[in-house]
Amino acid sequence: MPDAPVLSEALDVAPAESKGSVSRVLVVSPNWLGDAVMALPAIADVKRHFHARLVVAARRSVADVFRLAAPVDEVLVLEWSGKLLRAGALRRDLDAVRRARPDVAIVLPNSFASAWAVRRAGIPERWGYAADFRRRLLSRAVPRPRKSVHQGAYYQHLVQQLGIGTGPLEPVLAVPDRAIDAARALLTSAGWSGQRPLVAMAPGAAYGTAKRWLPSHFARLVTMLAQTTGATCALLGTGADRDTTAWIHRLVPEAARGHALDLVGRTELDVLAGVIQLSAVFVSNDSGAMHMASALGVPVIALFGPTREYETAPLARAGGRVEVLLNPVWCRPCMLRECPIDHRCMKGLTPERVFTVVREMMTDSKTP
């Protein structure tokens, strides 16, 4: 397959003029929170290259994360889910994209629908990976990497093949003061004194139960932290995680239960980021919140079971720290949503092992 043409060939102008001829760039976001965060380094590369107005089009579930990203000038919230029967939502999305008047659209999802939508919107330059039979919909279709790479590197490979120089593979998010204040108020109303160290935890995961560390393990970790370090633990997640966090709460002994704050379903994305920012350590399954925490520079302990840590491990921000913990059994990474045997990859990752790393990180975070 021939190499992709350089940027100047795509725009049919000299390289110096190609940047100047682009005043507005649209980036179509991935649809999952973790993927959206891992796309931030590539998005920063695009902004640095063009020095143009950068608009990100994203589904409502992830759109707010881009409001915390400095390179992004505008966020378009998409309604259309890719289903042709939702014609009204598609029409509204196309109108919003047209009003943004982008010269170039960089399509990060691999789906046919995302490329078809930017074609329908009439954007003259449409760039993305040659995937899902959409080569004819794109003005530039880049071959995907031949081998497995980290998802963040996957997005940077795309922009690099488009002639855009790449910088550090480092996602960066910043929480506004109002969100920090709202997070502190929420924690205080839930029982946090503000004096005890805060450890945030995300015990859920959207992919399936196989990705989730056992509720009994989380409960044991909460208990050890409350009794040994005096920490307060904040349990975070969406409404879908309520059963899991309620189970954890019940398993924590009554003497320590007051230091397990169940905030599931009570945090908008910016307030979630605020709670994470106030935390000394963040403990999580492989989840979108895990990627947010690393992009905020908070020390992260990532618990991996069936998924491939070499593709989706959280990317550490400069000066930040990420520890990926796993139980190296023969059957992982299986990538299954539900474990067909005994869930040994997560059962064998003991609370005592995780506690040791949490306590070490808490000690390090107190050192100037």
Rounded to whole angstroms, how far apart are CA atoms 68 and 268?
Answer: 13
The arithmetic mean of pLDDT across residues 244-257, rounded, is 94
14, pLDDT greater than 80? no
Q: For residue 158, give the nearest of 99, 102, 105, 97 by alpha carbon.
A: 105
Cβ contact 280:271 at 8 Å: no
The arithmetic mean of pLDDT across residues 120-146, rounded, is 95
Rounded to whole angstroms, how far apart are CA atoms 82 and 295?
Answer: 29
pLDDT score recorded for residue 5: 33
Helices (H), the chain: 7-11, 15-20, 33-38, 40-50, 60-63, 87-100, 112-120, 151-161, 177-190, 215-228, 242-251, 254-257, 269-277, 288-295, 309-312, 344-347, 351-365
Rounded to whole angstroms, how far apart are CA atoms 146 and 169?
Answer: 19
Cβ contact 235:261 at 8 Å: yes
Cβ contact 90:108 at 8 Å: no
161, pLDDT greater than 50? yes
Cβ contact 94:100 at 8 Å: no
High-pLDDT (> 70) share of the chain, %: 93
Q: What is the arrangement of strands in the sheet containing 53-59, beginning at the earlier edge strand? A: 74-78, 53-59, 24-28, 104-107, 125-129, 140-142
Q: What is the pLDDT of residues 262-321, one digit of tens each?
A: 999 999 999 999 999 999 999 999 999 999 999 999 999 999 999 999 999 999 998 899
The ranges assigned to domains in the chain are 7-161, 177-365
H-helix or E-strand spanning residue 322: strand 322-326
pLDDT score recorded for residue 365: 66
The arithmetic mean of pLDDT across residues 196-214, rounded, is 92
pLDDT score recorded for residue 81: 84
CA 196 → CA 183, 225, 248, 267, distances in Å?
Answer: 15, 11, 20, 21
Rounded to whole angstroms, how far apart are CA atoms 352 and 293?
Answer: 22
Residues shown for the chain: 368
H-helix or E-strand spanning residue 268: none
Q: Is 177-365 a domain of CATH 3.30.360.10?
A: no
12, pLDDT greater than 70? no
Confidence of residue 21 (pLDDT cuts 50, 70, 90): confident
Confidence of residue 129 (pLDDT cuts 50, 70, 90): very high
Task: Quote the CATH superfamily of domain 7-161.
Answer: Glycogen Phosphorylase B; (3.40.50.2000)
Q: What is the pLDDT of residues 358-367, one digit of tens each?
A: 999 998 865 4
pTM summary value = 0.92
Q: What is the pLDDT of residues 89-115, one digit of tens each?
A: 999 999 999 999 999 999 999 999 999
Confidence of residue 19 (pLDDT cuts 50, 70, 90): low
351, pLDDT greater than 70? yes
Q: Cα dihedral sign for 325, 330, 335, 341?
A: negative
The arithmetic mean of pLDDT across residues 207-236, rounded, is 95
Note whether 7-161 and 177-365 share their fold. yes
High-pLDDT (> 90) share of the chain, %: 88
Transcribe 69-93 into DSSP letters: -TT--EEEEE---S-TT-HHHHHHH
**Can you count the helices (H) and strands (E) in the chain?**
17, 12
The arithmetic mean of pLDDT across residues 238-263, rounded, is 94
